[in-house]
Amino acid sequence: MSLDVTHARSQLADDSRHEGDSIRFLYAKSMNTFGTNFQLMGYRYSTQGFYTLDDVAYRRMEGYEYDYDYDGEHRDEPIIVNYHNLRFSRKDRLQLNISQSLNDFGSLYISGTHQKYWNTSDSDTWYQVGYTSSWVGISYSALIFVE
């Protein structure tokens, strides 16, 4: 179990300057007998001015991040991999992660996140379910993401 506080000063893409604090609570439990790991994290952004390093690295206040498929010769249509809107700063976030070892058959994990924002009733909730394993020294994984 842990509790930490972070203070940040930031300058965003629109040259506005912000300052804010966040508090994080973490509870983690490993049940080795069963091969299960449990993690619960709660974040509270006590002021609207808290932005992470990832937030500050964006070159625009709002937009999409793209990835491109290449077929060797042509660049295919862009794939949206992330959306950001720095006009809505985070207010709080709750995240639950559970992983389960399947011994020689790899491991399974599930994650859920709920996030709220300042000055709006908007919130986001997303889930991930994944499986990882290896075969003759080659690692592979499968992931399902639902927003």
Residue 77 lies in a domain: no
**115/93 Cα distance (integer angstroms):** 4
Residue 133 lies in a domain: yes
Contacts of 54 (CB under 8 A, 6+ apart): none
Res 80 pLDDT > 50: no
Residue 80 lies in a domain: no
Residue 76 lies in a domain: no
- Whether the Cβ atoms of residue 50 and residue 89 lie closer than 8 Å to each other: yes
Enclosing domain of residue 46: 2-54+89-146
Q: How many CB atoms lie within 10 A of CB 2?
A: 9
Res 74 pLDDT > 60: no
**According to DSSP H, which parts of 60-108 are helical?**
none
Residue 132 lies in a domain: yes
CA of residue 55 relative to chain centroid, distance: 12
* Number of structural domains the chain divides into: 1
Q: What is the mean pLDDT of residues 80-94?
A: 71
Contacts of 84 (CB under 8 A, 6+ apart): 55, 58, 62, 63, 64, 65
Length reported for the chain: 147
Q: How many CB atoms lie within 10 A of CB 51?
A: 23
Residue 79 lies in a domain: no
Q: How many CB atoms lie within 10 A of CB 22?
A: 20
Q: Is the pTM of this model over 0.85?
A: no
Res 134 pLDDT > 70: yes
pLDDT of 102 reads: 96
Residue 71 lies in a domain: no
**34/73 Cα distance (integer angstroms):** 49
Q: What percent of the chain has pLDDT over 90?
A: 55
* pLDDT tens, position by position, 16-27: 888 999 999 999
* pLDDT tens, position by position, 32-42: 999 999 999 99
Residue 84 lies in a domain: no
pLDDT of 19 reads: 92
- CA 115-54-84 angle, to 5 degrees, is 55
